């Protein structure tokens, strides 16, 4: 048994924990049907009659069009482009469900848009594409660039996701971000920063195993190295076992990013299956096949004392948290909100985009991810952390403008920001935008414009 999170003290039985874990999936279909989706478009300017419409549409808008025609960067001032983000997917690797297609990906992309708005004040739009061709996906991003201030790539299968991110970042002059890569890496790093402190471990002296060599953990490896971990202290594992130099199935042509990491990680030269990657390591970060049972209890028992286990697969973690605890892990995190220590991308992407949008940045770099991770970790540490409380929770909204500031300032430092406001100006603007989004939602709920769900749908 493990304790409830928050103020509830009674321990839950395994049966209660399983029921709790399954509840969101049980309630979601009926609630999605009741609301007909999760996001909508609302005006942000006053409309009292035809005189207003003449300003906002025709003939008034023509004068605005001419200004932008003369200086295209004015589209960031005179339209909502400064706050628009496209959430782009082809539906080939959706949230632990795999290749389910663009239509079936819509609920996740709408959910992403909802979190963008609620947590970052960002107006995001689901763009689900009926193509699997990476060049077509890149070309779509190029074609829609004039409408958006940023592109969030989502749920693209590997290895295509690496190519699309790299080439889109080269070709576009707005931030292009792959949340399954950069977002996951950011929040994993934030969690590890605090986990290492609680466990009394030094990152530069610790061994860490990354279970899964897909988009999330490949980018996590690069971010950890950029942060300061020794590459040789990282052990990577894919579906065929431990990754090491000379593994014949990993080639520079077919798997360039995995091949590159194979040359610099695993200084001990470990080989063999996944079980050998747990012996004597200090931390394990899994972003692989949903469990339970993907990671065995006996493997956890082979880790060093005060071990750290991040089992991040969704919808079911690679190992249940209570099983990892029973096996000897001191700190356990998952990707779920119904267990302690949720490693949740939504702590990263809404605020990171808030920051880069507010300085009209041209890209998002790994250094910005590290700046965000440090700020997330610092916020949690300042208000107090412990083994079951590593990271901020989404209701602690004050973390988001702070992360926005960290990313905006790093954008300015790296010379990719179009404008350069000061720290206080960035903070006040971000806080006001995020607060407005949250308060607007409260008004709609209070006034009954967003209706409460019928009680029978919540059982």
Q: Which residues participate in catalysis according to the annotation?
A: 57, 112
Angle value at C-alpha 345, between 342 and 347, nearest 5 degrees: 80
Q: Which of 277, 275, 247 is nearest to 261 (CA)?
A: 247
The contacts of residue 227 (CB under 8 Å, 6+ apart) are 189, 203, 370, 373
Residues making up the chain, counted from first to last: 459
Q: Is 342 helix (H, G, I), strand (E, B) or coil?
A: strand
Q: How many helices (H) and strands (E) does the chain have?
A: 16, 12
* Structure token pair of residue 358: 């507010």
Alpha carbon separation from 425 to 42, 89, 348, 400, 458 (Å, rounded): 26, 34, 21, 15, 43
CA–CA gap between residue 283 and residue 295 (Å, rounded): 13
DSSP 227-251: HT--GGGEEEEETTEE--TT-TT--
Distance from CA of residue 328 to its chain's centroid? 28
């Amino acid at each position: 048994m493990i304790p409830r999170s928050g103020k509830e003290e009674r321990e839950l039985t395994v049966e209660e924990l399983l029921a709790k874990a399954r509840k969101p999936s049980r309630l979601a279909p009926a609630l999605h049907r009741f609301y007909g989706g999760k996001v909508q478009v609302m005006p942000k300017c006053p409309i009292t009659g035809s005189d207003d419409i003449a300003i906002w549409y025709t003939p008034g808008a023509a004068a605005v069009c001419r200004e932008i025609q003369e200086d295209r960067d004015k589209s960031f001032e005179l339209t909502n482009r400064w706050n628009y983000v496209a959430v782009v997917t082809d539906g080939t690797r959706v949230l632990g469900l795999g290749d389910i297609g663009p239509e079936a990906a819509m609920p996740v992309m709408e959910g992403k848009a909802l979190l963008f708005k609620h947590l970052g004040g960002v107006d995001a739009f689901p763009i689900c594409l009926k193509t699997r061709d990476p060049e077509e996906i890149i070309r779509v991003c190029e074609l829609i660039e004039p409408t958006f201030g940023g592109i969030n790539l989502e749920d693209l299968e590997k290895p295509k996701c690496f190519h699309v991110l790299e080439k889109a970042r080269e070709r576009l002059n707005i931030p292009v971000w792959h949340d399954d890569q950069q977002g996951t890496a950011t929040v994993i790093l934030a969690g590890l920063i605090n986990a290492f402190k609680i466990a009394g471990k030094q990152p530069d002296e610790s061994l860490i195993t990354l279970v899964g060599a897909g988009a999330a953990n490949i980018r996590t490896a690069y971010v950890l190295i950029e942060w300061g971990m020794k590459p040789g202290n990282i052990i990577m594992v894919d579906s065929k076992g431990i990754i090491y130099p000379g593994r014949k199935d990993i080639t520079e042509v077919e798997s360039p990013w995995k091949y590159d990491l194979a040359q610099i990680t695993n200084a001990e030269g470990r080989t063999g299956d996944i079980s050998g990657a747990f012996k004597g390591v200090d931390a394990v970060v899994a972003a692989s096949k949903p469990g339970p049972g993907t990671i065995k209890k006996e493997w956890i028992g082979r880790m060093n004392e005060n071990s750290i286990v991040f089992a991040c697969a969704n919808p079911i973690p690679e190992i249940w948290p209570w099983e990892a605890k029973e096996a000897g892990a001191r700190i356990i995190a998952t990707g779920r909100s119904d267990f302690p220590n949720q490693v949740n991308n939504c702590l990263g992407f809404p605020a990171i985009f808030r920051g880069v949008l507010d300085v009209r940045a041209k890209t998002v770099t790994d250094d910005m991810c590290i700046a965000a991770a440090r700020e997330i970790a610092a916020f949690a540490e300042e208000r107090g952390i412990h083994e079951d409380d590593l990271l901020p929770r989404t209701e602690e909204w004050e973390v988001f403008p702070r992360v926005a500031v960290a990313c905006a300032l790093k954008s300015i430092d790296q010379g990719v920001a179009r404008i350069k406001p000061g720290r206080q100006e960035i903070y006040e603007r971000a806080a006001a935008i995020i607060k407005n989004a949250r308060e607007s939602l409260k008004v709609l709920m209070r006034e009954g414009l967003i209706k409460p769900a019928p009680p029978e749908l919540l059982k």
